[in-house]
Amino acid sequence: GENVEQHPSTLSVQEGDSAVIKCTYSDSASNYFPWYKQELGKRPQLIIDIRSNVGEKKDQRIAVTLNKTAKHFSLHITETQPEDSAVYFCAAIQGAQKLVFGQGTRLTINP
């Protein structure tokens, strides 16, 4: 089955700087990769996704890149703000829309 590895487990950046979170996956058949943001005590919420036929996708300050050959994908947050502080999860979709999650990255934005 699919296995998703996520790094780093914690990340601290200065406000205004960029943050990058990386994930690798094992199953070359996976073709859809969502990213979730989870604030303390709340549900995970979808922030961006990418399909395997696309190399990059942007949404304002957030972007995701995908390298199918290397089987890794990354989340990039630019001009970070305090409200970006949260835990971020990458995931890959297996059959029947079953999500396989990475372990999560706790992002802290320092003012």
Partner 1 sequence: NAGVTQTPKFQVLKTGQSMTLQCAQDMNHNSMYWYRQDPGMGLRLIYYSASEGTTDKGEVPNGYNVSRLNKREFSLRLESAAPSQTSVYFCAIPEPRGDTQYFGPGTRLTVL
Which residues contribute to the site for partner 1 (CB under 8 A)? 1, 4, 6, 9, 32, 34, 42-46, 49, 89, 91, 93, 96-104
The count of other CB atoms within 10 Å of the CB of residue 103 is 13
Name every residue whose Cβ is closer than 8 Å to that of residue 26 and which is 6 or more positions away in sequence: 2, 3, 4, 71
> Which residue, 23, 26, 13, is CA-closest to 82?
13
Closer CB to partner 1, 42 or 83, in the complex: 42
CB of 16 to partner 1, least distance (A): 28
Closest to partner 1 by CB, 5 vs 15, is: 5
Burial grade of 70 (CB within 10 A; 0-12, 13-18, 19 or more): exposed
Q: Pick the closer one to partner 1 by CB: 36 or 84.
A: 36
CB of 84 to partner 1, least distance (A): 19
Q: Which is nearer to partner 1, 73 or 89 (CB)?
A: 89
Backbone angles phi, psi at 84, to 5 degrees: -80, -15
